[in-house]
């Protein structure tokens, strides 16, 4: 599953006339804040076959789009999952964005860019390296969870640089528009299900 339970104050939405609108923002907590976690979930778990969802405005009644959404997923491989997205979840240090993969052979939970859990019935030699590289700092603040200006732009820069390199080297970018479209299509299906009172939507 994927969980992005962040906070945006009313001033965030009031600071620009496009924020919180269907026409210019294209969606709310899922489309703007949650899309990267959804993209990573799809990369790890594969395509979604069916989705049911509900969306609402819990805190931000002056915006058009959702500030809270919950979706249940049926993946093409048969697994089930959940997506939570919100900009109505205040926390002093900010809630981390999380990706969690759980099964009968083990569990992994990625909290922002560090593993909070990496536990499997059968351990492998590379597990120790993964845990050392991605050790969690219990005092770390959520990456942009409460403050959008705290979002690290390095990942975006690396993607842009890869696109420039791909053009110069006459190759496809590592992550192209077709790959990025998968998360957008899933979010569109979530919104469609929510419009239909949670009816399942097949992708």
pLDDT digits (tens, 9 = 90+) for 86-125: 999 999 888 999 999 999 999 999 998 888 888 899 989 8
Number of domains in the chain: 1
CA Rg value for the chain? 18
| pLDDT above 90 for 170 | yes
The pTM of this model reads: 0.85
pLDDT digits (tens, 9 = 90+) for 124-156: 988 888 888 876 554 455 556 556 666 666 666
Structural domain for 147, as ranges: 2-202
- Please report, for the domain that includes residue 49, its CATH number: 3.30.360.10
Percentage of residues of the chain with pLDDT beyond 70:
89
The 10 Å CB-count burial string (b at 16+, else e) for 24-50 is ebbbbbbbbbbbbbbbebbeebeebee
């Amino acid at each position: 599953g994927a969980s992005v339970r962040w906070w945006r104050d009313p001033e965030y939405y009031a600071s620009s006339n496009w924020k919180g609108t269907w026409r210019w923002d294209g969606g709310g907590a899922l489309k703007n804040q949650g899309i990267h976690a959804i993209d990573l979930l799809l990369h790890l778990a594969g395509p979604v076959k069916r989705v049911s969802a509900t969306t609402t405005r819990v805190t931000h009644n002056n915006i058009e789009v959702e500030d809270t959404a919950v979706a249940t997923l049926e993946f093409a491989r048969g697994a089930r999952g959940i997506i939570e997205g919100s900009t109505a979840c205040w926390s002093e240090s900010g809630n981390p964005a999380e990706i969690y993969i759980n099964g009968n052979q083990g569990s992994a939970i990625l909290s922002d860019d560090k593993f909070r859990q990496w536990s499997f019935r059968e351990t492998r030699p590379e597990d120790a390296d993964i845990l050392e590289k991605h050790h969690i700092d219990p005092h770390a603040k959520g990456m942009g969870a409460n403050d959008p200006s705290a979002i690290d732009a390095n990942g975006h820069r690396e993607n842009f640089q890869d696109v420039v390199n791909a053009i110069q080297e006459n190759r496809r970018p590592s992550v192209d528009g077709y790959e990025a479209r998968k998360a957008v299509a899933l979010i569109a299906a979530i919104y469609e299900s929510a419009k239909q009172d949670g009816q399942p939507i097949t992708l």
